[in-house]
């Protein structure tokens, strides 16, 4: 029966359906085509794991992940940026240490994600990590992917054999003092370092110790602080351990790191970042039960026992021809619980997305370490760690520091003297001043 109202209702219904159809068609049209992501090894596997879920929501799009390799990826991105963005992938996985430099040296190289709505995600990430992914103008250029805090991995069996209670070690001085006893009882060195630093930078321990004192190479104003009291104290601690004969000289690089975690090089403590927890389990399954995990000791009694030790971001290249798709993919992978879970499952990188950290099952007991691994790292994120200012000159400072450390470890140089020289060198190469 065709009544007037019935017909009107039907027309309205048809119109709505048609409009809805149009809307769907429009949004589907917006998200189409192909984008490429540049990353490396485990983080690349993480990004890859988010693709099926994203494609299910937006059929017809293609996401390609290229494992460019690290550190090759930095040369590749730098070259592309210097060429005005030519040849870059659409989505770039960028380390926190490179972020500020890319944003400042190549303005317009990375897409301003604030204009695409990235600011809505800010509250869901740790503020310090979020700030390092933003430019001086506050615009967002990268969404935090990995957020690393410092892990303190130690060989339970060796400490037990030497009769040292790990819980009695509160400071690094305590730890270094226990070194000779440990070595005598077990033959193991306390810690490994690449003394000549000919393979990698070998500054990880100093950065951790300095971070634990709330300092870094630069202060918040960008002045050089690497030769300040905290920096000198850190290098003095390293020298003390070296002079005590408990530092093994192991070249840097991944293979040598693997030998340490597999117990092939006899080292009792590995202060690696949180991402390493997953690596221990997957690469050295035979060592289950032998490695323990705790918060790092503080430098001064009662000081910080947490440090942010790096992290990475996903950014979109300004030259991407499909920025909308690139951004939507980044938003899905890092800004939704579903995406984050897939990424975490695939790559095991420690996330910074708060809903993920609070989600059910994220903190679970690891049989390998016999501890609730992720709880340590969440605790660290909760501590009042300072914002780490990498500035545009991090690479120079890192190199100058590494050379200073080599002089201390190989020829017993005085920490204060070499750090003063290193700071003067960085000041001479840049327009920065040394903090008073």
Report residue 80 as tokens: 């592309």
Any contact of residue 425 with another protein (CB under 8 A)? yes
63 — phi, psi (to 5°)? -115, 125
In degrees, to the nearest 5, what angle opens at C-alpha 148 toward C-alphas 147 and 150? 155
- Smaller CB distance to another protein: residue 183 or 195? 195
Rounded CA gap, 318 and 326, in Å? 11
The residue within the footprint of another protein, chosen from 236, 392, 416, 435 (CB under 8 A), is 392
The residue within the footprint of another protein, chosen from 75, 243, 358, 379 (CB under 8 A), is 75
**Distance of closest approach, residue 275 Cβ to another protein, in angstroms:** 23
Any contact of residue 393 with another protein (CB under 8 A)? yes
* Count of residues in contact with another protein, rule CB under 8 A: 30
- Smaller CB distance to another protein: residue 75 or 345? 75
CB 235 within 8 A of CB 423: no
Helices 337-347, 323-335: crossing angle, 10 deg rounding: 80
The residue within the footprint of another protein, chosen from 173, 174, 223, 403 (CB under 8 A), is 403
| Strands of the sheet with 269-270, listed across from one edge | 269-270, 152-155, 291-294
**Distance of closest approach, residue 434 Cβ to another protein, in angstroms:** 16
- Smaller CB distance to another protein: residue 85 or 292? 85
The distance of Cα 150 from the centroid of its chain, to the nearest Å, equals 10
| Strands of the sheet with 143-149, listed across from one edge | 62-67, 34-39, 91-95, 308-316, 143-149
Single out the segment in contact with another protein by CB under 8 A; choices: 117-125, 175-183, 206-214, 392-400.
392-400
Please list the residues that pair with 314 across neighbouring strands.
Answer: 93, 143
The residue within the footprint of another protein, chosen from 64, 290, 294, 396 (CB under 8 A), is 396
The distance of Cα 167 from the centroid of its chain, to the nearest Å, equals 27
Any contact of residue 399 with another protein (CB under 8 A)? yes
Report residue 183 as tokens: 């070595």
The residue within the footprint of another protein, chosen from 31, 32, 69, 74 (CB under 8 A), is 74
Burial class (CB in 10 A: 0-12, 13-18, 19+), 267: buried
The residue within the footprint of another protein, chosen from 219, 266, 359, 407 (CB under 8 A), is 407
Alpha-carbon distance values, 305 to 117, 220, 380, 398 (Å): 35, 21, 7, 23
Compose the 97-136 pattern: x for residues touching another protein by CB under 8 A, - for all others: ----x--xxxx-----------------------------
Q: Which residues contact 272 (CB under 8 A, 6 or more apart)?
A: 150, 151, 153, 204, 257
Single out the segment in contact with another protein by CB under 8 A; choices: 52-60, 73-81, 147-155, 160-168.
73-81
Cβ neighbour number for residue 187 with a 10 Å cutoff: 10
Compose the 185-224 pattern: x for residues touching another protein by CB under 8 A, - for all others: ----------xxxxx-------------------------
- Smaller CB distance to another protein: residue 65 or 246? 246
The residue within the footprint of another protein, chosen from 13, 20, 82, 221 (CB under 8 A), is 82
Q: 230-269: which residues touch another protein (CB under 8 A)?
A: 249, 251
**Distance of closest approach, residue 252 Cβ to another protein, in angstroms:** 9
- Smaller CB distance to another protein: residue 241 or 333? 241
- Smaller CB distance to another protein: residue 199 or 295? 199
Q: Whose CA is closest to 151, among 380, 340, 334?
A: 380
DSSP character at residue 138: S
Residues at the interface with another protein (CB under 8 A): 74-75, 78-79, 82, 101, 104-107, 195-199, 249, 251, 392-393, 395-396, 399, 402-403, 406-407, 410, 425, 428-429
């Amino acid at each position: 029966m065709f009544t007037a109202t019935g017909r009107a209702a039907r027309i309205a219904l048809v119109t709505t359906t048609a409009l809805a159809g149009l809307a769907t068609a429009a949004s589907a049209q917006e998200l189409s085509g192909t984008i490429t992501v540049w990353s490396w090894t485990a983080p690349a596997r993480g990004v890859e794991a988010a693709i099926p879920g994203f494609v299910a929501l937006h059929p017809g799009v293609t996401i390609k992940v290229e494992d460019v390799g690290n550190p090759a990826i930095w040369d590749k991105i730098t070259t592309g940026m210097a060429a005005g963005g030519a040849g870059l992938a659409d989505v770039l996985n960028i380390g926190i240490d490179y972020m500020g430099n890319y944003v400042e040296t190549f303005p317009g190289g990375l897409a301003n994600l604030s204009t695409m709505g990235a600011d809505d995600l800010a509250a869901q990430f740790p503020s310090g990590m979020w700030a390092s992914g933003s430019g001086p103008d506050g615009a967002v250029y990268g969404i935090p992917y990995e957020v690393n805090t410092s892990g303190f991995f130690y060989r339970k069996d060796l400490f037990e054999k030497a009769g040292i209670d790990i819980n009695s070690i509160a400071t690094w001085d305590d730890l270094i003092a226990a070194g000779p006893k440990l070595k005598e009882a077990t033959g193991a060195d306390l810690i490994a370092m690449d003394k000549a630093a000919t393979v990698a930078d070998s500054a990880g321990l100093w950065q951790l110790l300095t971070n634990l004192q709330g300092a870094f190479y630069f202060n918040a104003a960008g002045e050089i602080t690497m030769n300040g009291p905290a920096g000198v104290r850190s290098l003095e601690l390293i020298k003390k351990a070296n002079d005590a004969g408990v530092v093994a000289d192991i070249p840097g690089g991944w293979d040598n790191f693997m030998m340490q975690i597999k117990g092939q090089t006899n080292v009792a403590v590995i202060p690696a970042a949180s991402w390493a927890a997953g690596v221990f389990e997957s690469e050295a399954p035979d060592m289950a039960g032998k490695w323990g995990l705790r918060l790092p000791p503080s430098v001064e009694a009662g000081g910080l026992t947490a440090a942010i030790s790096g992290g990475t971001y996903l950014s979109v290249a300004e030259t991407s021809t499909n920025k909308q798709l690139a951004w939507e993919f980044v938003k899905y992978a890092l800004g939704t619980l579903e995406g984050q879970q897939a990424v975490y499952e695939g790559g095991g990188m420690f996330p910074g997305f708060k809903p993920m950290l609070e989600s059910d099952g994220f903190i679970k007991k690891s049989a390998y370490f016999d501890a609730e691994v992720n709880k340590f790292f969440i605790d660290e994120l909760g501590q009042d760690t300072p914002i780490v200012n990498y500035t545009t000159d991090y690479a120079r400072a890192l190199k100058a520091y590494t050379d200073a450390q080599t002089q201390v470890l190989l020829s017993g140089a005085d920490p204060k003297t070499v750090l003063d020289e290193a700071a003067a060198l960085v000041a001479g190469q840049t327009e920065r001043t040394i903090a008073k």
